[in-house]
Amino acid sequence: MMKKKLLIGSLCVICILCSTMLLACKSEEKIDGGLEVSYDIKCALDDESCVLYVTSEVEILNKSKVAIKELPFYLYPNAYLEEGGAVTISNVATRERDLIYNIDNINMKVELNEDLKEGENVAIIISSRVEIPKGKGRLGYGDGYYNLHAFYPRLACFHNGSFVVVPYSKIGDSYCFDMANFKIKINYPSAYTLASAGEQTNYKENEKYKESVYCIDNARDVALSLSKKFTIFESEIEGVKISQYTMGKQDYTPFIANCLGYFIEEVGEYPHENFTIVETPFEYGGMEYSGLALINESVSEKEFVIAHEIIHQWFGLSVGSNSYKECWVDESLTNYLTYYYMDIYNKGGYEENMELERKRYKKFLEASKEKYGIGYMPRLDYNLEEFRSESEYANMVYGYGVLTYDGVRNVIGDKKFKKAVRDYYENYKGKIASKEDLIASFNKSAGKKVEGIFNGYIESKVVF
């Protein structure tokens, strides 16, 4: 995600369907993580009260050897309480009986009546009412638009035999999700145009309302965006349908196609059949979702931001990470590859941009030492709560992290670097990679030890 608010310019130049219907949206590919999860989400938008009514059926197949007693869900709308957002849960049940649940701010634990053992499955039905806050956030509304992210209860990641529940932070992306299959059916006022990831499988409308159904498989997360002012541009590359929803007039689909085509050829197959860019009022530069990216309609250097969010489709989404614990693992690599690609697209500028990043980092470090003391030295591998400010997060993850990969590439050379990126994607697509996984993969692909280089940067031993 290009989460930099005003720092962008200076830092980056930057409700229930039957099981058979669920199966129609599932992929045969095994989903990593020990659980196979499908979401069947039905929702209706009340435009007068700015409320979204949501019924989510979450079907869970336990492929692990661990018996599961309770299920942790995130209720992200509760992160917007200060802005007027909230979610109210009215009922949690299986298809047979109601379940006991406990809510603590953004976290909800659902107690199962019986342990979910290996090979068993359960469908959890959650009925909720989401109050959408006014604003330009991931979840927000304004004059003629809605951004709908994380509006549905989301199951926590299940990794190595246990659930990984990460805290919520207003800095960065406090997310760690397994792959899942999604089907979303939404009813909304006919004055709006809907942008969504995935394949539209059904659509109907009358004078007052529209109803759309979208499916996307093997996705980390999904989001919707609605506007009364969208213009749509379309294109295609390598069998991938490209859609750009914009409130402006500039067609970016040729650039999007070029970027997608480059990374399909150089890194690996794009994971989905559709890719959607949505330009909307947004408080950050951009935000990535499987098959879709939100772009701030007024961000400077828009091509850079679009490329950044496209590259996240490979790193951060297909190759997942714990973005709370190790935010740099996907974000720094993505931002570096954005510079790398823009150098190719613009036929130059890479060295100048790396020098600019070094100067920015030095300036940030000097100013921070004056504020925090001469011994101040942040680390690249901080978790989100350890960063003192959003400025520190942005400078370390988007700036110093870029210089980390520049340092690795300078040592191993361009050919081995490109091979390392391809191999890392091939080895970990559909999975969640840790920093140890990333470094070990680069070590193997480069044919020489680069662990010392990574660790030198991670521990902030490399200064400029």
Check residue 248 and give left, alpha or beta (phi > 0: left; psi -120 to 50: alpha). Answer: beta
Residues 6 or more apart whose CB falls under 8 angstroms from that of 96 comprise none
Gap between the Cα atoms of 433 and 455, Å rounded? 17
**pLDDT value of position 22:** 43
Sign of the four-CA dihedral 304, 308, 313, 314? positive
**pLDDT value of position 4:** 46
**pLDDT value of position 448:** 75
Q: Are 154 and 178 in contact (CB under 8 A)?
A: no
The two tokens of residue 306 are 């679009």
How would you write 409-448 as a 3-class SS string? HHHHCHHHHHHHHHHHHHHHCCCECCHHHHHHHHHHHHCC
Neighbouring CB atoms inside 10 A of 55's CB total: 20
pTM of the predicted model as reported, rounded to 2 decimal places: 0.92
Burial code of 345-360, b = ≥16 C-beta within 10 A, e = fewer? beeeeeeebbeebbeb
**pLDDT value of position 447:** 83
Gap between the Cα atoms of 121 and 35, Å rounded? 9
**pLDDT value of position 90:** 98
**pLDDT value of position 32:** 43
Beta strands in 132-259 (DSSP E): 140-142, 145-149, 154-155, 157-159, 162-164, 180-189, 193-196, 199-205, 209-219, 223-227, 231-237, 240-246
pLDDT, one tens digit for every residue, the chain (464 residues): 765 443 434 433 333 333 444 444 444 344 444 999 999 999 999 999 999 999 999 999 999 999 999 999 999 999 999 999 999 999 999 999 999 999 999 999 999 999 999 999 999 999 999 999 999 999 999 999 999 999 999 999 999 899 999 999 999 999 999 999 999 999 999 999 999 999 999 999 999 999 999 999 999 999 999 999 999 999 999 999 999 999 999 999 999 999 999 999 999 999 999 999 999 999 999 999 999 999 999 999 999 999 999 999 999 999 999 999 999 999 999 999 999 999 999 999 999 999 999 999 999 999 999 999 999 999 999 999 999 999 999 999 999 999 999 999 999 999 999 999 999 999 999 999 999 999 999 999 998 789 999 999 998 888 77
Query: Which domains are seen in the chain, by residue range?
Result: 5-226 (2.60.40.1730), 328-458 (1.10.390.10)
Gap between the Cα atoms of 432 and 220, Å rounded? 10
